[in-house]
Structure 1
Amino acid sequence: MKFLYHIILLVSIISLASCRDDFNFEPATGSELAFSKDTVYLDTIFSNIGSSTYNLKVYNKSNKDIKIPSIKLGKGESSNFRLMVDGMPGKSFENIELLAKDSLFIFVETTVDIKQQTNGKEFLYTDEILFQAGSNQQKVNLVTLVKDAVFLYPQKFEDGSYESLNFGDTKIYGFFLDENDATNGNELEWNNNKPYVIYGYAAVPPNKTLNVSEGTQVHFHRNSGLVTFPNANLNVNGSIENLAVFQGDRLEPSFEDTPGQWDGIWISQDSDASISNAIIKNAVDGLFINKNKLPVNLTNLQIYNCEKNALLLQVANVIGKNIVTNNCGVAGLNINFGGTYDFTHCTFANFWSRQNQTAVVMNNGDGTNAFALNAHFKNSIIYGNASESLLMVPANKETNFTFKFEYSLVKFLNSANRFNTDSFPYNFSNITNFNNCLIAKNFNEHQPYFYNTNKNELMITEKATSLINYGNLLFAQQVPQDLLGKSRLTSADLGAYQHVSSSAD
């Protein structure tokens, strides 16, 4: 009898549940729906490269459960946009259920072949998501900017392997640039006709020169970079008005200042370079120069947002003028294993948000003649948010560790008295090493009052009174214009920029 009672009770519960109308969905009329945005803007993409995923939230603002008869793309199956609705991919969906006061996500992606759309360098590709409910139709616009580009990448062979570069016993995913490439023509001449997108390591072959003209935009995929082989040369000729730019290939605003998106530029042993009016950003090490032959000339060069170093120099020979660095995980300038360096009117800044970083680091390896250091800084700024913006590590005190700062600002708080400022190398009263320098020994002394460090705007402002007109004019004649082209011949401020007016309070 008890068993029969349980059966009757179970049947009664099932019968009551079947009478509930909680799960009866009424057809939507169109008045119930609201959207998180009326237009979904997908950020700029390169031709044939998929976008990031963007979302649209659809709300049922009514008190009833509804069924949306149709959700589809305006261009139908021919659309270059892709949707995912309620976890299902496609371009057209029917009878989508949405509970009262509930919402659902629609995810949007796109891939566009610019050659199928236009002959131009870039264009806006648009479509719309249509929500059909009876006689009412609502829509949300979709917009993305598509850029044409020159794509450079390792070739795939018939056996499934890929082109690679040999560095001793190590192979890396990369390829040699070809001056007679069947598809791209002369790959050793880069210009501003189209952006360049690099996959893997693009290599300048031995005894060849890569010329990069003003306005050239170069984008590197993750784990990619540019490298020169022995007796090769990199020649970057930007202009003040039209810089050459090297950065990652993620074009979304959220990646605008994200470090470590690509590996960097590598001037390898026995090769050379000349770089002027250029920006390198968002790399691991922005520019690595290793035991080059002739002096590398770096003029009007900005390097920002590097996971490790902006400039990593190893047994190198470099002449730098109007160089600016900022926001690097290790240092703006890292001189490793000595070398010969001459820097004039440079701003080596570093306002990386985390600890264990500084503006300038110098060492001379094991102190032997092979790693002798000879570094000269003139009319420059070495400053950041670290307590000590200059760290020097001589192997054998003064042996093979020659340096001189002249008419320069150095931030050095000597927190917790960790360093002996009465002896080499931090004896700031020794004019052999520090001639007419400003030493900021606390946070208020000799502040540069940079315009906006968060946006890499490292111009000093009129508040930096101790830095204005402090530069030596003889050194200024070596670099007569600042990074923006302003003359400094009659009044030379410290750093890569002449001072500007501060932003309004």
Structure 2
Amino acid sequence: MRYLSTFGLLILLIFWSSCRSDFETVESTGNLKFSTDTVFLDTVFTTISSATYALKVYNRTNEDLNIPSISLKKGEASAYRLNVDGVPGKSFMDMEVLANDSIYIFIETTVNLQQRDQPEFIYEDHLQFRSENHLQEIPILTLVKDAIFLYPKKDGNGIIETIPTGTNELGEEVRVQGFYLNDEQLNFSNEKPYVIYGYAAVPSGKTLNIAPGARVHFHSESGIIVSENASLHVNGTFSIDREKLENEVIFQSDRLESQFQEIPGQWGAIWIQEGSVENMINYTTIKNASIGLLVNGDTTKAAPSLQLKNSQIYNSSVNGIRATNAKLFAENLVVNNSGQASVQILGGNYIFKHATLANYWQQGYREYPAVYLQNFRETKNGLEIFDLDLAKFSNCIIFGNENNELFYYRTEEADFNLHLENCLIKFDDPSAIDDPLYDFNNPDYYQNIILNENPYFWNPLDNNFSLQKSSPAIDVGNLSTAMEVPKDLLQNDRTDNPDLGAYEWITSQNEE
């Protein structure tokens, strides 16, 4: 009986399906629905591909629909590219959408601005859904920006130009894809953005000057190298509009789409090499690099020197600042959100005044603290020693989302000169480490330390390190240091009861 019942049901299903018309489609009559009425692809540079946008097309009817034609209005001349149901192209015939179902159309673009003289414009086309008597259209819009592209050359065999960056532990030369800037390329203006492929190197004896308001974008594994006896001068100035930052210099990725705005590790580094001189960076934002600032000295050449003022470094997949045997003077500095230490120092001479050195990394496990100081490192050939001549922090905040945000990795075989005054530090249990350097009451190293108190930043996950009214960092700074840095990162006066960190708390209407 069970066999007959199953067999009878199968015969019934076959008979029923042969009589119904569901396997036949009817032509669309302009009744398609869409996930949006206009497709906006995010801003892109000319000649650089956009991210892919997914448009969903719905059939809300109870019948299977046939769309006779899906195409771009500009046809094959369109700068947009489509992929419908896994098939790439610019026009498609007889596409089916099942009853109460949907399909995806993926859209991307690469626009060439060669025949246009304006620095940016809106590129537009329409995605058309045609049947015999009906037409439905979805506008597609993209803001396209012109740019100055700098990149290494290729030889006759297609091999990309490389430049030397030093030697490895075996004494072998190390090279990266890159090129040396010529004299005409050593002054970056703010007229157009710059897009760099590979490493743009400043030749020995030359200076790269970057004007206020300049925008410098880097492709993956790209950056700037400042060679021995060369200099980098980043000349940003204060911006009244804190959203546009019209006068600051900004270093970031060449991906302008919104989903790439806060992704770490999209490009390489600003690489200041041993023997480079008189480097200066002012009112600058460095974001989404692997290492924001790599200041790379050794023991055989003059230490690279850098003055870093009124600047911010965010979203570095490794370090915000990594410095080896360098001379670094920093004031009104904010560093946050690094995959390892936000500031990692190995030997050298460093002074930080009114710096907010934080790490609120959210991308996964973080082993390193916000600030990591060393005077040696381990190599295949044994220990390599670097005297830490001075690491001085005045009116600073060292904090983050881990228990301990300051760590020392040292040997007695090299100098380790440390001084912190009027600083707020996060270190959960100093007594757990048998090292006098972690005695935050020891006057040989520390003065006026606030330990493990929440600084009450406005929104550190959004890189907003202004202080709230309840912050213990308010009015506890050293006045002598404040007089040397009389304005905070926002140009607020701090010469009367100064606060710690890069921002001075100012009474605002919403806090009264």
TM-score normalized with structure 2 length: 0.89
C-alpha displacement at 1:18, in angstroms? Answer: 6.0
Distance 1:107 1:499 in 2: 48
CA contact (8 A) 2:295 2:304 kept: no
CA distance in 2, matches of 1:360, 1:161: 41
* Equivalence map 1:146-165=2 (5 Å): 146-165=144-163
Corresponding residue of 1:5: none
- Runs (5+) with no aligned partner, structure 2: 1-9, 168-172, 240-246, 378-382
1:178 corresponds to 2:182 = yes
**Structure 1 match to 2:255:** 250
Partner of residue 424, structure 1: 436
**Distance change >3 Å, CA 320–CA 63, structure 1 → 2:** same
1:145 is matched with 143
Cα 1:369–1:16 change in 2 (3 A) is closer
- Within 5 A, what are the aligned runs for 1:382-397? 382-396=398-412
Match of 2:372 among 361, 365, 383: 361
Q: Output aligned runs, 1:246-395, within 5 Å.
A: 246-272=251-277, 273-291=279-297, 293=303, 295-336=305-346, 338-353=347-362, 354-365=365-376, 370-395=386-411
Whether the aligned pair in 2 keeps the contact of 1:65 and 1:99 (CA below 8 Å) is yes
Residue 26 of structure 1 corresponds to which residue in structure 2? 26
Equivalent AA in structure 2 for residue 139 of structure 1: E
1:133-158 deviation per Cα after TM superposition (whole angstroms, max 9, x unaligned): 33222111111110101111110111
Q: How many residues align?
A: 477
- Distance, in Å, in 1 between the alignment partners of 2:285 and 2:85 is 43
Q: Is the 8 A contact 1:461 1:501 kept in 2?
A: no
Question: What letter corresponds to residue 51 of structure 1 in structure 2?
Answer: S
Q: SS of 2:481's equivalent?
A: helix
Query: Retained in 2: the 8 A contact 1:451–1:503?
Result: no
Residue 448 of structure 1 is matched in structure 2 by 455
Deviations along 1:447-502, one digit per CA (max 9) or x if unpaired, are: 211011111011112110x2111111111111111011111112311001101468
Paired-residue identity, %: 43
1:336-386 per-residue CA deviation (whole Å, 9 max, x = no partner) reads: 2x1111111111011112331321110111698752331111111111111
- Is the counterpart of residue 86 in structure 1 residue 101 in structure 2? no
Gaps of 5+ in 1: 1-9, 180-185, 441-445
- Per-residue deviation, residues 384-428 of structure 1 (Å, max 9, x unmatched): 11111110122118x51111001111111128x5323xx421111
Match of 1:238 in 2: 236
Whether the aligned pair in 1 keeps the contact of 2:73 and 2:126 (CA below 8 Å) is yes
Return the letter of the residue paired with 2:500. L
Q: Secondary structure at the match of 1:342?
A: strand
Letter in 2 for 1:265: I
Q: CA deviation at 1:293?
A: 3.8
* CA deviation string 1:177-201 (max 9, x = no partner): 111xxxxxx1110111111111111
Within the candidate set 471, 477, 485, 1:479 is matched to 485
**Residue 7 of structure 2 corresponds to which residue in structure 1?**
none
Partner of 1:56: 55
Q: Give how far 1:429 is off.
A: 1.1
**What TM-score comes out, normalization by structure 1 length?**
0.90
Offset, 1:325: 0.6
2:4 aligns with: none
Q: Distance in 1 between matches of 2:336 and 2:79?
A: 39
Q: Taking structure 1 as reference, are residues 418 and 56 closer, same or farther at Cα in structure 2, changes over 3 Å only?
A: same
- Structure 1 distance, partners of 2:404, 2:386, is 28
- Equivalent-residue separation in structure 2 for 1:362 and 1:235 (angstroms): 27
Measure how far apart 1:13 and its partner are: 10
Counterparts of 1:356 and 1:160, CA distance in 2: 41
